[in-house]
Chain A
Amino acid sequence: MSMDISPLLKMLVFPGGLTLIALGLLYEYIDRKLVARFQNRVGPRVLQPLADTIKLLAKEEVIPAGVIPLFFVSLPIIAMAGALTAGLYIPLAGFAPSFSLPGDLIITVFLLGLLTICIGLAGANTADRFSLLGATRTLTQLFSYEAPFLLALLCPAILADSWQISIVDTSVTGHVWLALPLFIGFFVAVIGLMGKLELAPFDAPEAESEIVAGALTEYSGRGLALFRLGKDVELVIGITLVSAFYLGGLSNPLEFLLKTLGLLVVVAALQALFARLRIDQVVGLWWRIGALLALLQLLIVVILKGVIL
């Protein structure tokens, strides 16, 4: 009996699994280093995120009283699995996605949202008050940015006549960057990505000066390591998606590196620029401005498409 090991490789080494995790750690380092330099700090060393992860993985995972242990242990795993699975549908490193099917854009966005939902549930699972507040804020924030973010990603998809990431990616390659004509959509997508990743100034769910570490206050050891890794992976996937859609597609590794790192610089600069928004300000911002802008962009795209094509 012969067995094709290529799907296994795809899932465990490239693009899923190890590559995604390594890229995630690298991008986390670049992000932290850039923010630190913008703030006139020294910042971490290259291997710091990896060292943190190894240290956390080696530590005892304390299961606090008052939680449902099954959820407590399994939620980080589900979150991590969701994030890694999402990596299979994106053109990582400029290569065609490992798996592609019509509508995988929705699947990817959902899988990324799964991570946030898991964090929210993990917070709600514990009896800790900071966790509960953090969970409320995490889920509140999820409901505010998710729709505008998805709408912003749909604009290029509508132009490409497909909700399949690989088709959108190839259709925008070689043309003018969509970020220029669809600058509103690009803007919403980048800000939405920052909200999704709970980066400053959208870090109210884990505002340390208010609610310690938010939903993950009670997590230590493996659970925390997995959630952090999941977020790193989400960072890579989110940045890849936005640059594939709005920055003229990703057709080779060099292009991938340049475009995603360029976007990361923008994201890092935005993090250093603003004071943290309160959760009510976040919701207000998204539903009053973000959602309207995204809808407006969508309307423009649909009308233009009807007129021109």
Chain B
Amino acid sequence: MTGPHVEKFIVPIGPQHPALKEPAHFEFTVDGETVTSASVRFGYVHRGLEKGAENRNWAQALYLLERVCGICSHAHSTVYSLGVERLAGVTAPPRAQAIRQILLELERIHSHMLWVGVAAHEAGFDTLFMYSWRDRETVMDILESFTGNRVNYSANVLGGVKYDLGPAQADSILSGLDYLEKRLHYYMKVVNNDESFLGRTRGVGTMTTEEAENLGAIGPVVRASGVSRDLRVDAPYLLYADFPINVITATAGDLQARFVVRIQELFESTRNIRALVEHLPEGELAVRFPRKVRAGETVSRIEAPRGGLFYFIKSDGGENPFRVKVRTPSLRNFMSVIVGAVGHQLADIPMILSGIDPCFSCNDRTVIVRREGRDGSAAPSESDSRKDSSS
């Protein structure tokens, strides 16, 4: 401590830090071990994907946008396909829709199980981390045998899907799900009963229903705070109207509730996949899709593993998208970290941060806000020009 003022002790976390698997920068001001304020900055992995999509034709952009996120890649390609198909007035055949939905739910299983491991690791509970990732390999194997890839499945084409689900694969999916369900029951027991783990999750990062609404949280985070918000039910797409899921909510709003909500959601997913596999509609896998999409604009939304995924797609009638705007769910949950961190122990911060299942690379979009200067000229200042609100 030098100088007359008491200096603020700021703990920088990121862009390189063992707790972060992706780059972002957090600054936590601490008083001893207690966090007194927090701030966040993104923009380290801006890849120019939106602009890239404008320079590709409709089909090529599908493969680009599938790479927005490495974990929920199928969600991105599905939400884009659904939007573009709506613009073009094309509907994918029922069998394709069912396969898309199966993949979406399988992806949710792999994403949530990955999260269970990461969150356990942040709590210093590496045993749970290792076990859950070992069991996650089951769903990864299913996805690989289905599509040939563990991630970025490239299963969608505009107007349908590429891969059919044969009886042999259906069997392997069902037997894999049996094993996963057994393991998930076990993890449910661990997160509900392990005293040392409860010591790190119960009452940590608590967000009341009101706060969750005010902060605009989304996905399992808001569902754990007692808000029933799930696009699969609120605005059903694909076959969710015929094969519905139950929205899982919890009231506690703390980390433990988020564990419970996410694991219970997986039971819903396995139930949903079983129903779809057993009642798979017959028919074509894809319909013909035009080269040019008629002019118009649309908003496409689906429930990705982390929450509502939002795409705005605009066509000027050409071969390329005129504009694709991506808003990933993590972005809406970051405020809950910044607000929720204050007053907690520094040791809880990695847990609170991982509690929203953040995906930093997905967030990074650039928007340049030009504010008119006093003299009328467009003079962007430092803070204006680099608004990393990732719009």
Residues of A within 8 A of B (CB): 38-41, 129-130, 133, 136, 200-201, 203-204, 207-212, 272-281
Contacts and interface: CB of A to CB of B under 8 A. Distances in A.
Given A39-B131, A207-B124, A209-B121, A275 B347 contact: no
A73 B32 CA distance: 28
Given A212-B18, A275-B200, A281-B199, A38 B349 contact: no
A268 B200 CA distance: 21
A120 to B, nearest CB: 16
B194 A210 contact: no
A212 B350 CA distance: 12
Contacts of A210: 19, 346-347, 349-350
B124 A276 contact: yes
Contacts of B214: none
Nearest to B10: A129
Contact of B197 (A40, A208, A272, A275): A275
Nearest to A200: B124
A275 B194 contact: yes
A274 B123 CA distance: 10
A41 B130 contact: yes
Contacts of A136: 32-33
Nearest to A281: B199
B126 A129 contact: no
A201 B126 CA distance: 10
Contact of B127 (A38, A133, A277, A278): A38
Nearest to B125: A275
A22 B175 CA distance: 49
B122 A209 contact: yes
B19 A209 contact: yes
A279 B131 contact: no
B125 A274 contact: yes
B120 interface: yes
Given A129-B11, A133-B11, A279 B347 contact: yes
Given A200-B126, A209-B350, 16 more contacts: A40-B130, A41-B130, A129-B11, A129-B12, A200-B124, A210-B350, A272-B127, A273-B127, A274-B196, A275-B120, A275-B128, A278-B199, A278-B200, A279-B33, A280-B33, A281-B199
Contacts of A39: 126-127, 129-131
Nearest to B118: A209
A133 B125 contact: no
Contact of A276 (B9, B10, B33, B200): B200
A106 B12 CA distance: 41
Interface of B: 9-12, 17-19, 30, 32-33, 120-131, 134, 194, 196-197, 199-200, 345-350
Interface-central residue, A38, A130, A208, A274, by most chain B CB under 10 Å: A274
A72 to B, nearest CB: 21
B124 A40 contact: no
A178 to B, nearest CB: 28
Of all A-B residue pairs in the complex, the 3 with the closest CB atoms, nearest first, are: A276-B124, A275-B125, A274-B196
B124 A201 contact: yes
Contacts of B124: 200-201, 203-204, 207, 209, 275-276
Nearest to A276: B124
Nearest to B126: A39
B162 to A, nearest CB: 35
Nearest to B18: A208
Nearest to B131: A40
B11 A276 contact: no
B352 to A, nearest CB: 11
A207 B12 contact: no
Contacts of A200: 124, 126
Nearest to A278: B347
Given A203-B124, A210-B19, A280 B345 contact: yes
8 contacts: A129-B9, A129-B11, A133-B346, A207-B347, A210-B346, A274-B196, A275-B128, A276-B123
A277 B199 contact: yes
Given A41-B130, A210-B350, A276 B18 contact: no
A209 B200 contact: no
Nearest to B19: A209
Given A40-B134, A129-B10, A129-B12, A275 B196 contact: yes
A278 B348 contact: yes
Nearest to B121: A209
A209 B9 CA distance: 19
A133 B346 CA distance: 10
A133 B122 CA distance: 17
A212 B346 CA distance: 13
A255 B35 CA distance: 50
Contacts of A209: 18-19, 121-122, 124, 350
